[in-house]
Amino acid sequence: MPEKKQKKQPGKRILIVEDEHPLAHALELKFNHEGFDTVVATNGRQALEELQKENIHAVILDLIMPEMDGFSFLDQLDGIKKTTKVIVVSNLGQKEDEERVMAHKNVAAYFVKSNTPITDIVEKVKSILS
């Protein structure tokens, strides 16, 4: 029986910014399976470097990370005038955190990790990039 071909997302590159390695790996596998190219960074500083050197179409961003957290990353992103869309996936479920994040122009969605299946994140990225 022929293998089912996955639908390729031509040239669509996703930057996954997550310091929890099992979750970063799971996101990477799911996005790759859906035909996206992925790059993984474990903190905001690495993510900014990747954004400067790679053509990134969307960012999956955790908020609590070492070196540079997601809040600082978003502040820096505002300053470099990139239009890359950001989907925040965090354990922070407080309304104040969500409001603070959604105030940034590049943020397209906010998900609480414990309440969100990876497939929902992938579907959100697909809808943003289509």
Q: What is the pLDDT of residues 3-21, one digit of tens each?
A: 444 556 667 999 999 999 9
- 45: exposed, middle or buried (Cβ count in 10 Å: 0-12, 13-18, 19+): middle
The whole model's pTM is what? 0.91
Q: What is the pLDDT of residues 70-109, one digit of tens each?
A: 999 999 998 887 889 999 999 999 999 999 999 999 999 9
pLDDT(53) > 50:
yes
- The CATH number that applies at residue 122 is 3.40.50.2300
Does residue 7 lie in a domain region? no
Q: How many CA atoms lie within 13 A of 72 on its CB side?
A: 12
Number of domains in the chain: 1
CA dist 77 and 103 (Å) reads 13
The residue range of the domain holding 20 is 13-129
Instruction: Round the average pLDDT of the chain to a whole number and report it.
Output: 91
Does residue 49 lie in a domain region? yes
Does residue 6 lie in a domain region? no
